């Protein structure tokens, strides 16, 4: 046993060890995890731990369990009863956390506790805001690629009805267009699956499960272009308190009532599990921050309105607008930096005197041994950056937006950039039906946006194009392109990422030559091979554990 752990145990009674064992995954090792504690307790405990003179176990014992004012007996009772005492336990921990925060003034302790929260029946406008944070939050959303969105509740399709629109003269038009889009989507589910089965018959050796799932996924991939951004979805999020607080503050500053209402509901629920971490989102401090967000957006709007008078047409889906001209020199210098004793300026001077072949040899030796796409380049490859202006349908944006280790911002969703038509809709004879829906949605958007430019986004179908940019470093470019060109990826975003690769290759052929796992091929039933692999894994599980 570790001597320091042993020393701690010698200072404890048998009863104290028994109590602590409820909250520690072991009592005899220097590495352990906490369990059976509310998140706010864990955060308070760790915040004190950074300033405590003894181990975490002893901190928990001396400053929580043995201090009557902490109310730790309520926490213990909660673990036994799993009842209403949880509220008492959290309140006591919140009081302690507040004292720690006042004493040390360190906001970062809010990153030491977190929560899981489900946000259900939110629009596909709201889901993109929930998923936009770069770090601190891990969201998962109901997939439009694998799940059908044709269900009804009380006889009505599931889409968001913005109060401003529903209380205006546009209410009837809004309902008409959303119902038209969902009716068409629903009506094409079976015909599209029949078309796919006819075009791609089940091959020998393919299980019924794999084939059925692949056909369904292909159909979902095609017809999701009909879905309006108002379509309701579910988002689950795990995150730390600090990230939740910032997200809520931004949501409160939104022009959309859905976002503000959702922020209030989320804060109400998060206050039940991590109250100290999120309470500032809408108090006097949070409201000042909200006002700053509003003023920043208003200032940008004013500048754009004054400076940019006419919109220039651009039909290209990918434009590399900027890249690092000295990328190879910077990367080579940064590779050497961590393994040397020299200042960066001296290393840069040495790199500047090298030949191109010598510099490339340094980079080659760090990348040449990659054997799969998970062998990501190291941090030196973060010093070279690229900016892409992207134009793709909203469904593509929804998929690629999930890459968050980069800088990205989107423009408002409109119908001004036209729409994409899946080739399968044309082949199956549904192009006219699709065109009719898109044109009617476009006309409705124009009417509603005159009065409600933000709320009009809800009526825009996924097939319409949106413009956004990615500013990312070379390391993340490797990850993005190698992941999003794999066979089972959606063909729309695969094409966009393949084009990003081509344009990066033009300006930095040597640096991207080590992207060995870019798939530039086209496929028909994209998910079939992946489902076959799942079948094999399922068989292995059956053999191991039984049916």
Strands in 407-410's sheet, in edge-to-edge order, are: 318-323, 385-393, 465-473, 407-410
pLDDT of residue 184: 98
Confidence of residue 104 (pLDDT cuts 50, 70, 90): very low
114 strand-pairing partners = 240
| CA–centroid distance for 59 within its chain | 36
Q: How far is CA 77 from CA 35, 74, 82, 274, 413, in A?
A: 15, 5, 8, 19, 51
Mean pLDDT, residues 363-390: 95
Pick the CATH number of 116-309+421-459 from 3.30.70, 3.30.1360, 2.40.10, 2.60.120: 3.30.1360
Confidence of residue 79 (pLDDT cuts 50, 70, 90): very low
Question: pLDDT at residue 81 above 50?
Answer: no
- Taking 90 as the threshold, does the pLDDT of residue 493 lie above it? yes
Element (H, E) at 341: none
Secondary structure tally for the chain: helices H, strands E: 24, 9
Structure confidence at residue 80 (pLDDT): 43
- pLDDT tier at 101, thresholds 50, 70, 90: low
Ranges of each domain in the chain: 3-112, 116-309+421-459, 318-411+465-529
**Does 263 or 68 have the greater pLDDT score?**
263
Q: Cα–Cα distance between 409 and 401 in angstroms, integer?
A: 9
**The pLDDT of residue 435 is above 90:** yes
Q: What is the DSSP letter of 526?
A: T
**Range in 66-80, 229-243, 412-426 the model is least confident about:** 66-80
140 neighbors 235 (Cβ within 8 angstroms) = yes
Residue with the bigger pLDDT between 37 and 519: it is 519
Q: How confident is the model at residue 91 (pLDDT cuts 50, 70, 90)?
A: low
Q: Calculate mean pLDDT across residues 31-55.
A: 74
| pLDDT average, residue stretch 393-419 | 94
Q: Which residue has the higher pLDDT, 16 or 322?
A: 322
CA distance 137 to 239: 4
Could you report the per-residue pLDDT of 512-533, keeping only the tens digit for each? 999 999 999 998 887 877 887 8
- Contact between 456 and 162 under an 8 Å Cβ cutoff? The reply is no
Which tokens sit at 155? 């006889």
Distances (CA, A) of 264 to 224, 249, 267, 269, 270: 30, 10, 5, 9, 10
**pLDDT: which is higher, 105 or 365:** 365
Instruction: Enter the tokens of residue 38.
Output: 């509310």
Mean pLDDT check: name the lowest of 3-7, 38-42, 121-125.
Answer: 38-42
pLDDT in tens, 272-290: 777 878 888 898 888 999 9
Task: Taking residues 89-105, report their average pLDDT.
Answer: 58
pTM: 0.86
Q: How confident is the model at residue 248 (pLDDT cuts 50, 70, 90)?
A: very high
Work out the mean pLDDT of the chain and round it to a whole number.
Answer: 88
Three-state secondary structure string covering 424-473: HHHHCCCHHHHHHHHHHHHHHHHHHHCCCCCHHHHHCECCEEEEEEEEEE
Compute CA 519 distance to the chain's CA centroid, rounded to the nearest angstrom.
24
Q: Tell me: the pLDDT tens digits for 172-222?
A: 999 999 999 999 999 999 999 999 999 999 988 889 898 999 999 999 999
Lowest mean pLDDT among 13-22, 180-189, 190-199, 491-500: 13-22
Do 116-309+421-459 and 318-411+465-529 agree at the fold level? Answer: yes
Top-confidence residue, 48 or 307:
307
Can you give the pLDDT at residue 277?
82
Evaluate if residue 254 carries a pLDDT over 60: yes
**Has residue 103 got a pLDDT over 60?**
no
Fold of the domain spanning 318-411+465-529: Gyrase A; domain 2 (3.30.1360)
Q: Give the residue, 58 or 40, on which the prediction is more confident.
A: 58
Q: Ranked by mean pLDDT, which of 16-20, 85-89, 246-250, 401-405 comes out on top?
A: 246-250
The residue whose two tokens read 């490797």 is 478
| Cβ contact 513:423 at 8 Å | no
Mean pLDDT of 484-512: 95
Beta bridge partners of 117: 237
Average pLDDT over residues 372-391: 95
Phi, psi (rounded to 5 degrees) for 389: -95, 120
Binned at pLDDT 50, 70 and 90, residue 304 comes out as: confident
Q: Give me the pLDDT at residue 352, please.
A: 94
**How many residues appear in the chain?**
547
């Amino acid at each position: 046993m570790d001597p320091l752990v042993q020393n701690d145990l010698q200072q404890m009674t048998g009863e104290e060890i028994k109590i602590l064992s409820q909250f520690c995954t072991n009592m005899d090792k220097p590495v352990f995890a906490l369990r059976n504690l509310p998140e706010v307790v864990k955060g308070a405990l760790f915040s004190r731990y950074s300033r405590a003179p003894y181990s975490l176990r002893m901190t928990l014992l001396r400053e929580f369990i043995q201090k009557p004012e902490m109310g730790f007996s309520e926490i213990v009772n909660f673990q036994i009863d799993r009842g209403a005492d949880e509220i008492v336990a959290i309140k006591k921990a919140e009081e302690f956390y507040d004292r720690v925060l006042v004493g040390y003034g360190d906001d970062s302790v809010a990153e030491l506790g977190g929560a899981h929260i489900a946000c259900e029946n939110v629009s596909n406008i709201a889901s993109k805001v929930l998923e936009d944070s770069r770090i601190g939050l891990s969201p998962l959303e109901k997939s439009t690629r694998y799940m059908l969105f044709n269900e009804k509740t009380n006889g009505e399709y599931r889409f968001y009805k913005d109060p401003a629109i529903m209380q205006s003269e546009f209410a009837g038009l809004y309902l008409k267009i959303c119902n038209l889009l969902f009716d068409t989507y629903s009506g094409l589910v079976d015909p599209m699956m029949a078309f796919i089965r006819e075009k791609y018959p089940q091959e020998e050796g393919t299980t019924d499960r794999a084939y059925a799932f692949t056909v369904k996924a292909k159909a979902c991939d095609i017809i999701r272009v009909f879905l309006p951004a108002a379509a309701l979805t579910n988002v689950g999020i795990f995150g730390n308190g600090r990230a939740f607080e910032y997200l809520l503050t931004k949501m409160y500053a939104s022009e959309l009532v859905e976002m503000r209402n959702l922020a209030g509901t989320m804060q109400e629920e998060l206050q039940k599990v991590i109250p100290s971490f999120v309470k500032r989102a809408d108090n006097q401090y949070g409201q000042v921050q909200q006002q700053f967000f509003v003023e920043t957006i208003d200032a940008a709007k004013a500048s754009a309105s004054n400076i940019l008078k006419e919109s220039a047409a651009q039909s290209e889906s990918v434009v590399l607008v900027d890249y690092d001209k000295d990328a190879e020199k910077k990367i080579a210098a940064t590779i050497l930096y961590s393994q040397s004793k020299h200042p960066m300026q001296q290393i840069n001077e040495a790199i500047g005197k090298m030949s191109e072949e010598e510099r490339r040899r340094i980079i080659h030796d760090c990348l040449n041994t990659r054997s799969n796409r998970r062998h990501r380049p190291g941090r030196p490859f973060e010093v070279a950056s690229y900016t892409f202006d992207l134009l793709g349908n909203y469904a593509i944006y929804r998929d690629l937006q999930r890459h968050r280790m980069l800088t990205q911002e989107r423009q408002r969703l409109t119908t001004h950039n036209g729409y994409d038509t899946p080739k399968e809709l044309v082949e199956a004879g549904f192009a006219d039906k699709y065109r009719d829906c898109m044109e009617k949605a476009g006309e409705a958007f124009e009417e509603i946006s005159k009065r409600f430019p933000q709320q009009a986004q809800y009526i825009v179908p996924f097939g319409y194009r949106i413009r956004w940019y990615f500013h990312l470093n070379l390391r993340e470019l490797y990850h993005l392109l190698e992941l999003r060109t794999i066979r089972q990826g959606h063909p729309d975003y695969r094409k966009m990422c393949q084009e990003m690769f081509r344009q990066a290759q033009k300006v930095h052929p040597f640096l991207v030559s080590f992207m060995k796992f870019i798939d530039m091929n086209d496929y028909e039933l994209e998910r079939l091979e992946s489902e076959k692999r799942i079948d094999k894994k399922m068989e292995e599980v059956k053999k191991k554990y039984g049916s």
